[in-house]
Amino acid sequence: MTWTAPPGSRTRHGWNTPVTAPGPENREMLKRFREIQHNPLNFLLQTWQLHGDVVQFPIPRPASYLVSSPQGARDVLVNNHRAMSKRTIQYSTLSLVTGEGLLTADTETWKTSRRQLAPAFHHEMISLATNHVATALNRLDQNWAELTSEGSALIDVDQTMMNLALEITGATLFGSDLTGQVDQLTSATLRALHGVVVRARNPLPVPLAIPTPNNLGMRKAIRELDTAVNAIIDRRLADPLPPGAPIRDMLDVLMDQTLEQPLSRKQIRYEVATFIVAGHETIASALTWAWYLLGSNPEEAQRLQVHPERAALVFDETLRLYPPAWVITRRTLESVEVEGFLIPADALVIVSPWVVHRNERVWPNPELFIPDRFANGAPMLGYLPFGAGPRLCIGRDMARLQGAQILSHISQNWQLSPIHNQQVPVDASVTLRPQGGLPMRLTRIKD
């Protein structure tokens, strides 16, 4: 049985879109406008707490819903996945940078790409990536040794984890032999992504063709991105993988001519940008919050130092409290029923891991950082930092291994201590980042 709007509320928003679930009124939305802009995480959490597991916002087109129960999230991403598309503002904005790559693509081509690109995340690639992580950590140790030669040092953990993750993503994608071009490419991708963020903050995005400073910057960055990828592809074409030789990096998979449907140059460019965008800031964000949480829970930091194998639990619990992908959006292709509520066709459906991960029924004392929650693995319902269903993150295993490897290595050698005990505000943008960075005090652990 589906929910029926109370009499009179059918037209409560003053428009024709049917009201099929409870939710805030126009007035409440207007009152909270600033919060929606500046603290969307809190807005989403409170919307769930005030109005329930399936909420309809007073937005006429598209009809917009927030689904927050563990079962509801699963219904959207897994059970009804055939009725859902990725044609949402979130993904169309992102595709300005990534094109129709694996993350944003929504057609039959996605299925072929997902199958063809799977080897880029197989076991051999993960172990190659482990070597790149070790190399990057080595370099970090050297930098930090210099910084702390006179004692402790103040560092921005957010910036450090971003650089570390970027170095690893570059090496995993292109091997270690292309450093100059890779720098150019990653810098162009990040500038383009920044343009996307600025755009997404503007309630009335201006078409890309209009020469605002942001659009000009973005167009320039995208041109540079194209040029850099083309140069990298040309170099690789001149040095192709000998038949039967083991793959060296992800680019070898993307350029594999023996694939059933070899990727075009354009597709390679889309996937390269996708892997950079999807792969580096997510891991960096999770690591940054892990250091923040360990800094605020010194007993857990201590346990990690003694038992480095606990890094996997710490990483999983960090992803629960600070899921880098804090909203996952879908557009319904047909009407679906979720938790007894009818969601019509062509509606926007938002699932927020930030909210789902704070459900007391699955996570007692949800705000507390308790890595041991994951001692027996993750629950089937109520945990989706990597999404769920067929669009589950293709980089999940790689990300979890790298995250644990980095946390365990650093915690063996270094101590990162908070410089104050105030809560750090979260900037919810492409991922979750600490507002104003995360300064922490770095000291070497004596043997």
Q: Which residues bind ligand HEM (CB under 6 A)?
A: 102-103, 114, 274-275, 278-279, 282-283, 286, 324-325, 328, 385-387, 391, 393-395, 398-399
Spell out the long-range contacts of 185-191 with Cβ–Cβ below 8 A and sequence spacing 24 or more.
185/225, 185/228, 185/229, 185/232, 185/272, 185/276, 186/276, 186/280, 188/221, 188/222, 188/224, 188/225, 188/228, 189/97, 189/221, 189/225, 189/273, 189/276, 189/277, 191/217, 191/218, 191/220, 191/221, 191/224
Compute the distance between CA of residue 432 and CA of residue 324 in angstroms, rounded to an integer: 5
Instruction: Kindly state the smallest distance separating residue 286's Cβ from ligand HEM, in Å.
Output: 4
CB closer to ligand HEM, 222 vs 388: 388
CB closer to ligand HEM, 279 vs 418: 279
Instruction: Kindly state the smallest distance separating residue 15's Cβ from ligand HEM, in Å.
Output: 28
CB closer to ligand HEM, 111 vs 307: 111
CB closer to ligand HEM, 19 vs 432: 432
CB closer to ligand HEM, 81 vs 444: 81
CB closer to ligand HEM, 153 vs 401: 401
Cα Rg for the chain, rounded, in angstroms?
23
Which secondary structure element, helix H or strand E, spans residue 72, and what is its range? helix 70-74
Instruction: Kindly state the smallest distance separating residue 217's Cβ from ligand HEM, in Å.
Output: 25
Which two structure tokens, joined as six digits, stand for 381?
Answer: 């319902």
Are 388 and 356 contacting, i.e. CB atoms less than 8 angstroms apart?
no
Ranked by CB distance to ligand HEM, the top (closest) residue is 395
Instruction: Kindly state the smallest distance separating residue 265's Cβ from ligand HEM, in Å.
Output: 19
Are 21 and 48 contacting, i.e. CB atoms less than 8 angstroms apart?
no
Instruction: Kindly state the smallest distance separating residue 202's Cβ from ligand HEM, in Å.
Output: 23
Instruction: Kindly state the smallest distance separating residue 283's Cβ from ligand HEM, in Å.
Output: 5
Q: Of the candidates 343, 376, 440, which has an alpha carbon nearest to the alpha carbon of residue 67?
A: 343
Instruction: Kindly state the smallest distance separating residue 391's Cβ from ligand HEM, in Å.
Output: 4
CB closer to ligand HEM, 389 vs 439: 389
Compute the distance between CA of residue 123 and CA of residue 125 in angstroms, rounded to an integer: 5
Q: Of the candidates 1, 39, 20, which has an alpha carbon nearest to the alpha carbon of residue 349?
A: 20
Are 232 and 154 contacting, i.e. CB atoms less than 8 angstroms apart?
no
